[in-house]
A and B are shown apart, each in its own frame.
Chain A
């Protein structure tokens, strides 16, 4: 497998506060990579840096092309869909309008309509709520909407920031099942940031542990899952 996303020596800062100190990692074409780590480790910042939402330096290559100097919207147009933490739906627009906005860079009207139905196939609850204002959805429904909207971009890579946050355990398992299906059947590569390490390691093939803006361990997800010492010392389970 070849690398879809390659990151080398990524630094990022908020104003004068440096938060990332040289991260290197990657996502394989068709693969799932997870970034794990405690609160404040810099996982959210890493995703923001990839999307050009914070000041960053370093090499970022997507599908063989450097994206380190592109703006957020241009990065999205290349096929990187970011599902930020805290969902970020368009609260006063309807579910359907939110989904259509996900496809705003596309021109193929018929395919867009089909994709809306496909998203409804993955998340039937959204179909029931299609005319409802996004801001009035429950937290879990908004999370699904945010993921569905990202899918409308027809992304090659999805960046997911704590998709399980605030969801009931049953929903979390269901959601990760859907993510696995998206990865398998649609061929979307995933970069998943998670607090729920057990779940993320089940989904991922590669894993990186982040601590205060540095990668302290990396390897195959299976290895980490089976290495009790690492689990104990870094992941706490």
Chain B
């Protein structure tokens, strides 16, 4: 799968100019800021969830797309983030924004520690180990000794926050803006990470671990750190998800959630950060669309759509956008 995302070798003249790229970003941001004033509340809620998924998918992408490690266990990190946030609000009245860094740090530590033994595993074996983590998590959350904290099978209900400072926004609008703010920060940070020396080292390990070691790169350290950062992203997404949905329960975080994130990653484009937004939108809206086509066979319809998409766009949205940009620029040059 990793082999299927070659970045086209773009000659210098075709590289996006800084102004053009920033202009595009600002335009997209403007649209994102205006959207909640022109669409229905339920759609706002859904768009907020798209952003939440996008953060989680960026986390998975850092691990898989940029470091070459597979995970079917990201639902566990998402769950941990969600539960940390929910428990902090439920038990100790933590203000909801303050739960995000705590959830992030908890997941970073857990991810790093999980990444250490996982170092010995490659490819399918790592996928299996993370799969086990995903399967175990909902069951652990249901354990009765933990019930005081986790709420057991019932889970935890969270209050929906109002807009602060008397802002004239509905709760949904406010949560959307809050999530958008966090998303922008997390996206910029991920972008900078990937462009840094550390990012280079991560990709070197993905491309050729042996050669990376020969360059003096401590791959054990980088791989576990990447696991930690990836879990941090997904954990923050989980915490945001809990706040937005106002509810956590073990069965929201099954192995299926891991697959959902993986689908989002592949649809958006492995190794391309903005792809997370396409992937997030896909996994949120397309299953609903499939259900509208056939209630009984919605799963099958969804499956067929994924297969079609992979046939038409083997590199996900990233390939499509890159081709479009190249065309545009080639056109301009003429």
Do the beta carbons of B214 and A72 come within 8 Å of each other? yes
Q: How far is the CB of B64 from chain A (nearest CB, A)?
A: 14
Selected from A132, A135, A153, the residue in CB contact (under 8 A) with B216 is A153
Would you list 7 pairs from A and B whose C-beta atoms are within 8 A, ordered by A residue? A53-B213, A73-B213, A73-B215, A76-B214, A91-B207, A91-B208, A133-B9
CB proximity to B under 8 Å, residues A79-100: 81-82, 84, 88-93, 97, 100
* A105-B215 CB under 8 A given contacts A90-B207, A91-B207: yes
Do the beta carbons of B207 and A93 come within 8 Å of each other? yes
CB proximity to A under 8 Å, residues B217-249: 217-219
Q: Is A149 an interface residue (CB 8 A)?
A: yes
- The answer for the CA separation of A88 and B215 in the assembled complex, in Å, is 11
B interface list, Cβ under 8 A from A: 6-7, 9-12, 197, 200-201, 203-204, 206-208, 210-219, 271
Selected from B10, B200, B214, the residue in CB contact (under 8 A) with A97 is B200
Selected from A53, A91, A153, the residue in CB contact (under 8 A) with B215 is A153
Do the beta carbons of A88 and B201 come within 8 Å of each other? no
Q: Is A49 an interface residue (CB 8 A)?
A: no
How many residues of chain A have a CB within 8 Å of chain B? 31
Do the beta carbons of A77 and B216 come within 8 Å of each other? yes
Do the beta carbons of A90 and B9 come within 8 Å of each other? no
- The answer for the CA separation of A91 and B271 in the assembled complex, in Å, is 14
Do the beta carbons of B219 and A88 come within 8 Å of each other? no
Known: A84-B211, A88-B214, A105-B215. 17 other contacts (CB 8 A): A53-B210, A73-B216, A73-B219, A74-B216, A76-B213, A76-B214, A84-B210, A84-B214, A88-B208, A88-B211, A90-B203, A90-B207, A90-B208, A93-B200, A131-B10, A131-B12, A149-B215
Do the beta carbons of A105 and B216 come within 8 Å of each other? yes
Q: How far is the CB of B194 from chain A (nearest CB, A)?
A: 12
Q: Is A216 an interface residue (CB 8 A)?
A: no
Q: Is A220 an interface residue (CB 8 A)?
A: no
Q: Is A101 an interface residue (CB 8 A)?
A: yes
* A88-B210 CB under 8 A given contacts A101-B201, A104-B197: yes
Which chain A residue lies CB-closest to B214?
Answer: A82
Do the beta carbons of B210 and A132 come within 8 Å of each other? no
Q: Which residues of B contact A105 (CB under 8 A)?
A: 215-216
- The answer for the CA separation of A105 and B212 in the assembled complex, in Å, is 11
Q: How far is the CB of B68 from chain A (nearest CB, A)?
A: 10
- The answer for the CA separation of A114 and B209 in the assembled complex, in Å, is 27
Where chain B touches its partner, the secondary structure class is helix
Do the beta carbons of A93 and B6 come within 8 Å of each other? no
Which chain A residue lies CB-closest to B10?
Answer: A131
- Which of A89, A92, A133, A135: most chain B Cβ within 10 A? A92
Q: How far is the CB of B204 from chain A (nearest CB, A)?
A: 5
A interface list, Cβ under 8 A from B: 51, 53, 71-74, 76-77, 81-82, 84, 88-93, 97, 100-102, 104-105, 131-133, 135-136, 149-150, 153
Do the beta carbons of B11 and A104 come within 8 Å of each other? no
- The answer for the CA separation of A101 and B202 in the assembled complex, in Å, is 11
Q: Which residues of B contact A88 (CB under 8 A)?
A: 208, 210-211, 214
Q: Which residues of A contact B197 (CB under 8 A)?
A: 104
- The answer for the CA separation of A92 and B272 in the assembled complex, in Å, is 13
Do the beta carbons of A104 and B217 come within 8 Å of each other? yes
Q: Which residues of B contact A135 (CB under 8 A)?
A: 6
Do the beta carbons of B211 and A90 come within 8 Å of each other? yes
Q: Which residues of A contact B12 (CB under 8 A)?
A: 131
Q: How far is the CB of A154 from chain B (nearest CB, A)?
A: 11
Do the beta carbons of B6 and A92 come within 8 Å of each other? yes
- The answer for the CA separation of A88 and B206 in the assembled complex, in Å, is 12
Q: Which residues of A contact B218 (CB under 8 A)?
A: 73
Do the beta carbons of A89 and B208 come within 8 Å of each other? yes
- The answer for the CA separation of A32 and B7 in the assembled complex, in Å, is 39
Q: How far is the CB of A151 from chain B (nearest CB, A)?
A: 12
Do the beta carbons of A102 and B215 come within 8 Å of each other? yes
Do the beta carbons of A104 and B200 come within 8 Å of each other? yes
Do the beta carbons of A72 and B9 come within 8 Å of each other? no
- The answer for the CA separation of A135 and B6 in the assembled complex, in Å, is 9
- The answer for the CA separation of A72 and B217 in the assembled complex, in Å, is 9
Q: Which residues of A contact B10 (CB under 8 A)?
A: 131
